[in-house]
Each structure stands twice: as structure tokens, then as C-alpha cells.
């Protein structure tokens, strides 16, 4: 951490992210969202809430999962 005396008040802040770094962060966020969605679907199925899990999987198509016979499976397109 920098001391206050070392900070230039006219400095614009941190440098903007490169396109490659921005894309990497985007992919990581999508993967994290997909993993959280999977865990939620598994929990719903474990509780016997198959209809709720199906609805959630259908509403979040980008996760790539579907519910078949109470199990969370990768969606095959």
C-alpha cells in the first residue's frame, strides 16, 4: 500500500485492462456462475424439488445443464 504523500491526485487511477485480461476475467466469471448454478441445481434435486430445479435450469440456459430423472446433467444441444 502506498503512502498518501506518494499518491498523485491528478493521476487517472489504474491502467485499463487489456482485451486479453478482460476476456480472461469474463470467462472466469462465467465459469464461476456455472459452478454456482450447478451446486444450486444439485441441492434442489437432493431436496426433491425437481420441478424447481427444471425451471431454474431452463431459465438459466447458459449454465448448460438440464434435469433428467432428478439428476443434473450437461445439456446436449
The tens digit of pLDDT for each residue in 1-14 reads: 778 887 777 777 77
Tell me the whole-structure pTM to 2 decimals: 0.74
pLDDT per residue of the chain (77 residues) written in tens, 0 to 9: 778 887 777 777 777 889 999 999 999 999 999 999 999 999 999 999 999 999 999 999 999 999 999 999 999 87
Place of cell 440456459: 61
SS3 readout for the chain: CCCHHHCCCCCCCCCCCCHHHHHHHHHHHHHHHHHHHHHHHHHHHHCCCHHHHHHHHHHCHHHCEEEECCEEEECCC
Q: What is the pLDDT of residue 6?
A: 77
Q: What is the pLDDT of residue 8?
A: 74
Amino acid at each position: 500500500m502506498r503512502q498518501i504523500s506518494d499518491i498523485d491526485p491528478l493521476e487517472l487511477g489504474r491502467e485499463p485492462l487489456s482485451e486479453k485480461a478482460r476476456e480472461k476475467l469474463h470467462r472466469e466469471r462465467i465459469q464461476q456462475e456455472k459452478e454456482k448454478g450447478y451446486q444450486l441445481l444439485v441441492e434442489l434435486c437432493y431436496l426433491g424439488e425437481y420441478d424447481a430445479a427444471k425451471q431454474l435450469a431452463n431459465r438459466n440456459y447458459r449454465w448448460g445443464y438440464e434435469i433428467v430423472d432428478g439428476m443434473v446433467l450437461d445439456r446436449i444441444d
